[in-house]
Amino acid sequence: MKIAVFSDVHGNLIALETFVKATRNEVDSYLCLGDVVNYGPWNDECLEIIHELPGVTLLEGNHERLFQGTDDLTHELPLVQEFFHHSRQFFSREDLITGLPRSVAIGAYECVHTINERRIYPDTEIEVTGSYFVGHSHHQFRIDRSGFKIVNPGSVGQNRRWINMVDYSILDTTHGAIHFFSIPYDVDLFLSEMHFRDYPAQCIAYYKQKLRIG
């Protein structure tokens, strides 16, 4: 079985549609590691699309908890709070983020949004007692720690390396192989929608200052 593993869509419908188009005939099922909502304006639409994917499992991320009010927004950076207040007004599908699991096991991997609320990067020193799929840090990588693997498929909607790229992975459970993919999407369409919905200037600048490839 081939599973498309993805994370951190963050209300970016343009990027999500690009990802779904690229994978719909290539995989048997989907696993989303959380953070579908916040930042971008299309929270409802992204959740609705993901819930309709074949065999999908959607995990809860920290931004789902922010939208439900179970995490304290005041602990976030001021810019994150600014994004939240603007993005949250376009959200109505609380039913689609209620009661989501925080983890699921697939083969040898424990799949979670992150481990102990940490942002894990390729150079992060961390001890684990098993292998993981994680999201949260918006970077695509596979590292070995304590004799186990930590795999991050990267971010669909807010790539921290190249803002106009969609990152994801495909896990082949039959052979245990993991393949990484990065494909371009039209980030200017996303920015146009932010302008149309009157996002604050500092929120738009956050995306515009990010590096692009191509």
User: Could you tell me the residue ranges of all domains in the chain?
Assistant: 2-99+153-208
- State yes or no: pLDDT of 22 exceeds 90: yes
- State yes or no: pLDDT of 91 exceeds 90: yes
pLDDT at 187: 98
Percentage, residues of the chain above pLDDT 90? 99
Contacts of 97 (CB under 8 A, 6+ apart): 36, 37, 47, 60, 64, 67, 68
34-43 mean pLDDT: 98
Here the tokens at position 209 are: 């200052």
- State yes or no: pLDDT of 197 exceeds 90: yes
Nearest-angstrom CA–CA distance, 172 and 169? 10
Query: Domain 2-99+153-208: what homologous superfamily?
Result: Metallo-dependent phosphatases (3.60.21.10)
Nearest-angstrom CA–CA distance, 54 and 123? 34
Split at pLDDT 50, 70, 90, the class of 214 is confident
pTM over 0.85, yes/no:
yes
- State yes or no: pLDDT of 116 exceeds 90: yes
Nearest-angstrom CA–CA distance, 46 and 193? 15
183-197 mean pLDDT: 98
